[in-house]
Amino acid sequence: MSIKKYIPSLRLRTLPLSVSGIILGSGLAWQSDFQPLPEEMRVWVFALAILTTLSLQILSNLCNELGDAQKGTDAAQQGRDAYGLQAGTVTTGEMKGLIGIFIGLCVLFGTALVCTAFWTEISQAPLSFHFSPFIFLALGLLAIIGAITYTLGSHSYGYIGLGDLGVFVFFGLLSTMGAYYLQTQTLGVEVTLAAVAIGLPCVGVLNLNNVRDMPNDLLHGKRTFASLLGPTGARIYHAFLLSLSLSIFTFLGFYWTLCVLPIWMWHILYIFRHKGHELDRQMPVLMFTTLIVAVLAIL
């Protein structure tokens, strides 16, 4: 059995974006005065956090493809490469099996992550009881549910304009603050604002995707936040997301992030001047510059 036919459905180009919050949160944690974990353990926490996030992103991509296919949303989109289900190279049964595999990987890596980060607390049981490991396990379960129900099922939140909120919470707040807390077991204003700042361009990627697909989405009853704002409103919203992100990073004193300002200005102008499948060219630009921003913020 060839695995090549599954690769388009994984949407590998989205993966750099998904680790931005982990890199930012971990970098801020390494600079923190709170270091309850030994260095070797911190490396393991970082690696497992990356694996967990990548598994969640791929799970979300697979469920998104299956959900859109079941609703007919991806049936006839032009100007885009067809994924497995749309191209007919992957069956629904195979896609469900692949989803099951990545649910398992999310559980495996997520559980290993929590056990590694809170090993001291867990090893003390039943002499003492700590809520933190159970809270993070619950958050992990919520992330899995969020990845599945974005477009899959009859009550998918991506079809009622809540996709932006989901991305902001899971790939902005939870990713950054979670990575920070798992290594320091503390939280503060700086990391919270940084989580907001990195979450905004992550939302921008989804918004760009939704602006591109707006006519097709409306035709199939997919009410994204972009479609609720309309073509012009969604573009203004896009500019606001990126502008606010850099403003917050600058307020925090992370001045290196301003290196992407010329690119984002050009990117915003392009979004206002183009439409349809032409916007797809800007997807990797925003995804990779968001990753770069996360790295620049911790220099």
Structure tokens that stand for 116 in this block: 């590694």
One-letter-per-residue 3-state SS of 116-156: HHCHHHHHHCCCCCCCHHHHHHHHHHHHHHHHHHCCCCCCC
- d(CA 114, CA 293) in angstroms, rounded, equals 27
Length of the chain: 299
- What are the extents of the domains in the chain? 4-120+131-297
Structure tokens that stand for 167 in this block: 């991305």
- Going by the DSSP 8-state scheme, the letter that residue 160 receives in this structure is B
Angle CA(246)–CA(27)–CA(171) in degrees, nearest 5? 60
Q: What's residue 210's pLDDT? A: 95
Mean pLDDT of the chain: 91
Q: Nearest Cα to 231, choosing from 214, 247, 209?
A: 214
- Going by the DSSP 8-state scheme, the letter that residue 229 receives in this structure is H
Q: What's residue 74's pLDDT? A: 66
Q: What's residue 125's pLDDT? A: 61
State whether residue 164 is helix, strand or coil.
Answer: helix
- d(CA 94, CA 236) in angstroms, rounded, equals 40
Residue 41 CB neighbours (<10 A)? 15
Q: What's residue 128's pLDDT? A: 54
> CB under 8 Å to 57, separation ≥6 — which residues?
14, 15, 17, 18, 147, 171
- 207 has a pLDDT exceeding 60: yes
- 78 has a pLDDT exceeding 70: no
Structure tokens that stand for 106 in this block: 């999310």
Lowest-pLDDT range, 72-76, 96-100, 196-200? 72-76
Give tens-digit pLDDT for 104-123: 999 999 999 999 999 877 66
- 71 has a pLDDT exceeding 80: yes
The answer to whether 45 and 124 are in contact (CB under 8 A) is: no
Give tens-digit pLDDT for 163-173: 999 999 999 99
Share of the chain above pLDDT 90, in %: 72
Give tens-digit pLDDT for 175-202: 999 999 999 999 999 999 999 999 999 9
Top pLDDT among 191 and 276 is at 191
Query: CA separation (Å) from 25 to 84, 124, 178, 216, 294?
Result: 34, 27, 7, 36, 9
Q: What's residue 279's pLDDT? A: 94
- d(CA 282, CA 208) in angstroms, rounded, equals 8
Confidence of residue 143 (pLDDT cuts 50, 70, 90): very high
Q: What's residue 76's pLDDT? A: 54
Tell me the one-letter amino acid at 65.
E
- 266 has a pLDDT exceeding 70: yes
Lowest-pLDDT range, 68-77, 97-106, 235-244? 68-77
Q: What's residue 69's pLDDT? A: 85
- d(CA 270, CA 142) in angstroms, rounded, equals 36
- 77 has a pLDDT exceeding 60: no
Q: What's residue 235's pLDDT? A: 98
- 254 has a pLDDT exceeding 90: yes
Structure tokens that stand for 290 in this block: 């968001």
The answer to whether 172 and 200 are in contact (CB under 8 A) is: yes
Q: Is the model's pTM score more than 0.85?
A: yes
Q: What's residue 109's pLDDT? A: 98
Structure tokens that stand for 75 in this block: 């049936």
Confidence of residue 81 (pLDDT cuts 50, 70, 90): low
Question: Which DSSP string corresponds to 50-101?
Answer: HHHHHHHHHHHHHHHHHHHHHHTTTTT-SSS---HHHHTSS-HHHHHHHHHH
